[in-house]
Amino acid sequence: MTRLVVVGSVAGILFISIVFRDRLGGLTVAIAVASAGTAFAISFGGFYRPGDRVQLGHQG
């Protein structure tokens, strides 16, 4: 069963990549930015803790 799931997943990813090959440039950039953000967050893991409130933008 597990082998079938892996083969099906690979086939699905291959099919999607062939169908949407002209739009994958933007997806690649989005995945790269998300990965960089995750790596940055992990490297500074002690800076913020879950539940901390973070304000974005200018307080006026």
Phi-psi region of 56 (alpha: psi -120 to 50; beta: other; left: phi over 0): beta
Q: Is residue 57 part of a domain?
A: no
Whole-prediction pTM value? 0.40
pLDDT digit of tens for each residue in the chain (60 aa)?
Answer: 688 888 888 898 888 888 877 777 777 788 888 888 877 877 766 666 778 787 778 776
Q: Is residue 51 part of a domain?
A: no
Q: Is residue 48 part of a domain?
A: no
**Residue 54 confidence (pLDDT):** 76
**Residue 29 confidence (pLDDT):** 81
Q: Is residue 31 part of a domain?
A: yes
**Residue 30 confidence (pLDDT):** 81
Helices (H) and strands (E) in the chain, counts: 2, 0
Q: How many domains does the chain have?
A: 1
